[in-house]
Amino acid sequence: MRFSLRDSLHLRAMWKLSSWYRDLLHLRAVKKSYRARRADLKLGVIDLRKLNPRQESFICEFITSGNATAAYRKVYGSVGDNTARANASRLLADTRIQDRIKEIQSEVVSEKICDSIELQEFLSRVIRRELTEEIFLPNGERIERPNSVRDALKAAETLARISGLFVNRAEVDLNGVMPVVIVDDI
């Protein structure tokens, strides 16, 4: 079977039409998937705020080390100082990452660190002299006695500072006129 020029042009037009048609079908599919995704977003099925695994690793490393640049280098590989610093800063500026850091830090409350209420309770027990201290005498005898008055006073001062009752104030009189004296020592 022999093809003429007319047949080859016809086949070429068919090929162009088919590629155009394939592109059209692809665009329609993309548009449908975009519409479906928007619908899912409205329904709350898809969460765009989800962090990728590297961002989660960065958050964990940042929380453990406290150094954003070192955490970025450990997760994303060896990069230059300026690049690591800039990208770590960019990651820490992201609200999703800030929220996740706060969430993890609120979950991980160490039992070894006392909170302000526990500290105030301890200082109050010292002020009331409810705590005892052990004293070892030179002969090897051990005596328990309530804490000293000096410790109670220091605890009271510390508790007053924490509560905001004890404020260091410096009075400055701005209404007075200070004379200006020019001395010519030449």
Which among 107, 128, 143 is the end of a domain? Answer: 107
The letter for the amino acid at 62 is: F
Query: Structural domain of residue 58, as residue ranges?
Result: 53-107
Question: Contact 127/159 with Cβ under 8 angstroms?
Answer: yes
User: Closest by alpha carbon to 162, among 123, 127, 114?
Assistant: 123
Position 186 in a domain? no
**What per-residue confidence (pLDDT) applies to 89?**
92
pLDDT tens per residue, range 53-109? 888 889 888 888 889 999 999 998 888 889 999 999 999 998 888 888 888 877 766
Position 4 in a domain? no
User: Closest by alpha carbon to 95, among 106, 103, 84?
Assistant: 103
* Same domain, residue pair 71 and 39: no
Q: How many domains does the chain have?
A: 3
pLDDT tens per residue, range 19-44? 555 565 556 665 656 566 666 555 55
**What is the helix (H) or strand (E) element at residue 144, kind and residue range?**
strand 142-146
Position 153 in a domain? yes
Question: Contact 123/155 with Cβ under 8 angstroms?
Answer: yes
CATH code of the domain containing 99: 1.10.10
pLDDT tens per residue, range 123-154? 899 899 888 888 888 888 888 888 888 988 99
- pLDDT, the chain, mean: 76
**What per-residue confidence (pLDDT) applies to 90?**
92
CA distance 156 to 145: 19
Judge whether residue 160 has pLDDT over 70: yes
User: Considering the entire predicted model, what is its pTM?
Assistant: 0.39
